[in-house]
Structure 1
Amino acid sequence: MVQNNVKKIRESRLMSKAELARKANVSPLTVDRVEKGAACRVATMRKIILALGYELSDRDQVFPS
């Protein structure tokens, strides 16, 4: 399991899982799995980071190492 801040950031922006999934062009099930800490591909991480309004250089704020 991978700890991340996706759910916390999404909720602070009053965004639903479906809305994040739509903006990131991934399925809502993928968003759910990522929020629960399941591993995901780098491409999926990139999409989620950008959909949350972050720059790729801010990766560690969303997906801490």
Structure 2
Amino acid sequence: MESVLVHNTVRKIREKLLMSKAELARNAGISTLTVDRVEKGMSCRIETKRKIILAFGYELSEKGLIFTNG
């Protein structure tokens, strides 16, 4: 199975908000390993994307600002 890279701005937004990976993970209810994988562009479940979007304080309708192809 091939790994699909997903373009996202998770790291950029997290750093802009002065948020650590651990903080994002805690706020989103996901592991720091998952945050690391998402920031590296690895694919993730829609539910994980939803949790990250909400943890940043964005509306779900703004998902395109974070995840550009999914």
Under TM normalisation by the shorter chain, which class is it? Answer: over 0.9
2:57 to 53, 56, 59: 53
What do you get for the CA RMSD once the two structures are aligned? 0.4
- Structure number with greater Rg is 2
**TM score, norm. by length of structure 2:** 0.91
- Aligned pairs, how many? 65
Q: Following superposition of structure 1 onto structure 2, how do residues 1-65 of structure 1 map, counting pairs within 5 Å?
A: 1-65=5-69
Q: Percent of pairs identical after alignment? A: 65
Q: Deviations over 1:5-64 (max 9, x none)?
A: 000000000000000000000000000000000000000000000001100000000101
**TM score, norm. by length of structure 1:** 0.98
Extract unaligned runs of 5+ from structure 1.
Answer: none
Higher relative helix content? 1
Extract unaligned runs of 5+ from structure 2.
Answer: none
The one-letter amino acid of 1:31's match is V
